[in-house]
Structure 1
């Protein structure tokens, strides 16, 4: 009798686990709900943050200011709305025989298949990885408008607490581009996703990833970049500190510097871009991390090559478009609604 009870429990547990999977593909492993653990409720998340802030705060007033900032950035009402409306999982998939971490966000209810956006994050290695806070601030608002969003953390970066075997190095636009293109094979296995309507967009380094990925895939209908670098060699004059990142990340950089940077710079191969894939460029005028000239010069080159595009310059704004985040998100949503 106990044997049958155990079998039943295991069967129910297995069914429950599969029911929570957002990608129905046996190649995808470790699908876990984003709204669990400390993120199960706003109170538990805020309580965790409060403990962290207490260690760094010099006074109760200082702590109160930090918590007020947290609430203004996120907020309980927004959290509850997104938890009610959206499904969100992290997962593991394989590229070149090694585990890579990814994430997927999608509306819970819809009467028709939804367009899919592949999001390419900024940063390098674990720096800039997409954590819950950045999802809520940057991705949830767009998914909530009727999009499925899927993205990679890139090789060399894992979800907190994840044990990943055979960790590969992030090559900053090298083999790690496969981490992006590999995601497209899973889109047909996402329930409610329309594999015929795929867009892609990236922030900062993710802009470079987006252009590089499009050299390898043909089923992306529209793209967008936010503060993207388009000429990495020229960008070194604007931000010399990036030399350290390039040296650390890019294979054979010291012996093939110019060649490797030009391979990663879309301005060197604008004539290879498809005239059938419209491009949206968003950039802050006072960006101190990626010069706005990257987008200005790319927009000019796109015009000369008759590539359909739109360039939106945000006056006096920064790398993260801090002063125009909502406007920028509306611009992205409008762009992909138009072309997908």
Structure 2
């Protein structure tokens, strides 16, 4: 009996090791050609992007995460060389907010046009992928597995990786910083930081989102919501990853009170953070979109591309 238990234990350990070692492995890769209608939309939003698109290539991929086949994208410069990287985390849940051709072409294309190799996940269970997303549970591994995915891309410099996300993607970014110090910088737009506060403003989320995707939600509500709320573990996020957090003061989807509460915690723990509250801006900071992109590029260039030193967080100066 003891012999059988030992064999079972060894088999389980071996299975876990194999699964972990395969995380991020690209098993399918297909070139994505942007349609004329999408290019027209991009031209209307930012005419300068049309020229940049000629130097960028797009791919749909299927990669492994916890042995599941997960869908995602690679967007990168066509030039040879060694480029820094960005992992981009989508917002929304399920099919709502998933990466579509417009988002991939314009947003991920914009990041890549700055000279970055960009990877992004649809998260498990979405867009034809296997498994079930948990909105900040095991699906965080789908983000972390992308580090290994970058390692399979010829012109990706995996010693220089940044991470970014908006809304739910901001929460995924915070959770990633809790698990690793691999990222040189993080940029968050309107990141969900307090699930309890979120339910006060949007009570419909409980039944229509949380209860549907979080396993055993009602039995473990407090535990599961805290696990997805960075305000409760701000001290656990990697302090060697500086953060830029941006928020619109007129955002009704994720109220600015969430990011402000997190900001106070980060300040208390001396985490290098820059915070910008855009007056009267919505969830996407539509009113200051150019400024949003300019701030994002500047932050990533400074800490990821140029590898500048971290700031002195102790009180100093004249």
User: Shorter-normalised TM-score: what interval?
Assistant: 0.7 to 0.9
Per the alignment, residue 72 of structure 2 pairs with 102
Q: Would you say the 8 A contact 2:42–2:49 is kept in 1?
A: no
Per the alignment, residue 212 of structure 1 pairs with 175
Q: Runs of 4+ in structure 1 displaced over 6 angstroms?
A: none
Alignment of 1:54-65 (within 5 A): none
Q: TM-score, normalised by structure 2?
A: 0.83
Change (3 A) 1:94 1:274: closer
Please state if 1:92 is matched with 2:55.
no
Per the alignment, residue 147 of structure 2 pairs with 184
Per the alignment, residue 72 of structure 1 pairs with 44
Please state if 1:229 is matched with 2:192.
yes
Per the alignment, residue 28 of structure 1 pairs with 26
SS at match of 1:209: helix
Alignment of 1:11-50 (within 5 A): 27-35=25-33, 39-40=34-35, 42=36
Partners of 2:42 and 2:243 in 1: CA distance = 34
Cα shift at 1:231: 0.7
Per the alignment, residue 291 of structure 1 pairs with 255
Per the alignment, residue 175 of structure 1 pairs with 138
Cα shift at 1:71: 6.0
Cα shift at 1:70: 7.9
1:216-268 superposed Cα distances (whole Å, 9 cap, x missing partner): 22311111110101111121111112112001111111111111000111110
Per the alignment, residue 272 of structure 2 pairs with 308
Q: What RMSD over aligned residues (CA atoms) do the two structures have, in Å? A: 2.1
Please state if 1:147 is matched with 2:116.
yes
Q: Would you say the 8 A contact 1:74–1:136 is kept in 2?
A: no
Per the alignment, residue 291 of structure 2 pairs with 327
1:173-204 superposed Cα distances (whole Å, 9 cap, x missing partner): 01111111111112222111111101111110
Partners of 1:74 and 1:213 in 2: CA distance = 31
Cα shift at 1:27: 3.5
Change (3 A) 1:123 1:301: same
1:67-117 superposed Cα distances (whole Å, 9 cap, x missing partner): xx8863366x734x243110110100122222100101111125x421101
Q: Gapped runs of 5+ residues in structure 2?
A: 1-22, 305-318
Partners of 2:228 and 2:99 in 1: CA distance = 22
Per the alignment, residue 56 of structure 1 pairs with none
Q: Would you say the 8 A contact 1:126–1:156 is kept in 2?
A: no
Partners of 2:195 and 2:56 in 1: CA distance = 37
Q: Gapped runs of 5+ residues in structure 1?
A: 1-24, 47-68
Partners of 1:139 and 1:217 in 2: CA distance = 23
Aligned residues: 281
Cα shift at 1:310: 0.2
Q: Would you say the 8 A contact 1:125–1:155 is kept in 2?
A: no
Q: TM-score, normalised by structure 1?
A: 0.78
Cα shift at 1:277: 1.1
Please state if 1:281 is matched with 2:253.
no
